[in-house]
Amino acid sequence: MTSFLSDRVLVLQGDITRVQADAIVNAANSTLMGGGGVDGAIHRAGGPAILEACEEIRRTIWPEGLPPGKAVATTAGRLPARYVIHTVGPIWRGGKQGEDELLVSAYRESLKLAYELGCKSIAFPAISTGVYGFPFERSVPLVCSVVREWAASFEKIILVFFSQRDYDLFLSLQTFEEA
Ligand code: AR6
């Protein structure tokens, strides 16, 4: 574990479903009906209450699905959190289709929603860098800049990397501290 910005930002390697935070962010897809990767892990660990809440959101707020770059909150079910914030990152299409802006928006909308819900801590996985194919190295400065924007509004913003490789890469490329 490594910390930045006066300990307001924690970077760690591990499973986000084991992290205690007021809000856990899910890298979902537009259907909100679950999937693989971190989405599958969150639904499995949190239990069926999360899917029930997602179905309700589809019926009421987003009948055609949650667009990329937006975020919604549900119960966290059995997870050690108050909320799961579901956001949809961009699918990588070569980098000129607004992918950077959508990735930043997914983080920013999640932070904004958590803040509005009174959360003091929030944990993120590496949105879009798995199945959706966003190059991990390119995501790092984007994530650092949006996290820096919001750092003063939270006690802890936790960035959770599932693989040791991503954790090491993030630390070597982060822009919280200038080299
Ligand atoms: N804790 C933390 N990070 C994890 C965990 C975990 N338990 N499991 C995987 N990761 P991905 P995406 C990392 O593919 O690229 C789903 O099917 C993983 O190693 O989960 O946004 C959705 O339903 C990677 O670094 O999300 C969508 O269809 C990161 O989480 C689609 O995948 C994100 O990988 C979304 O794709």
User: 140-174 pLDDT, tens per residue?
Assistant: 999 999 999 999 999 999 999 999 999 999 999 99
Q: Is 47 in the pocket of ligand 1 (CB under 6 A)?
A: no
Q: Which of the 8 DSSP states describes residue 89?
A: P
> Can you give the residue ranges of every domain in the chain?
2-173
Query: pTM of the entire structure?
Result: 0.98
Fold of 2-173: Leucine Aminopeptidase, subunit E; domain 1 (3.40.220)
Give alpha helix (H) positions in 3-134: 37-46, 48-60, 99-116
Helix (H, G, I), strand (E, B) or coil at 87: strand
Residue type at position 70: K
Q: Is 38 in the pocket of ligand 1 (CB under 6 A)?
A: yes
Query: Is residue 178's pLDDT more than 90?
Result: no
How far is the CA of 50 from the CAs of 24, 42, 76, 155, in angstroms? 12, 9, 6, 25
**Which of these, 153, 156, 136, 147, lies nearest to 176 by C-alpha position?**
147
Q: Give the residues across from 73 on adjacent strands.
A: 85
Q: What is the pLDDT of residue 99?
A: 98
Query: Is residue 81's pLDDT more than 70?
Result: yes
Query: Is residue 179's pLDDT more than 90?
Result: no
Given the residues 39, 100, 166, 168, select the one marked as catalytic: 39
Q: Is 29 in the pocket of ligand 1 (CB under 6 A)?
A: yes
Exposure string over 25-48, b if 16+ CB within 10 A, otherwise e: bbbbbeebebbebbbebbbebbee
Q: What is the dihedral of CA 65, 29, 24, 154, to 10 degrees?
A: -70
ipTM: 0.99
What mean pLDDT, rounded, does the chain reach?
98
Please write the tens of the pLDDT for every residue from 101-116. Answer: 999 999 999 999 999 9
Q: 39 catalytic, yes or no?
A: yes
**d(CA 174, ligand 1 centre) in Å:** 20
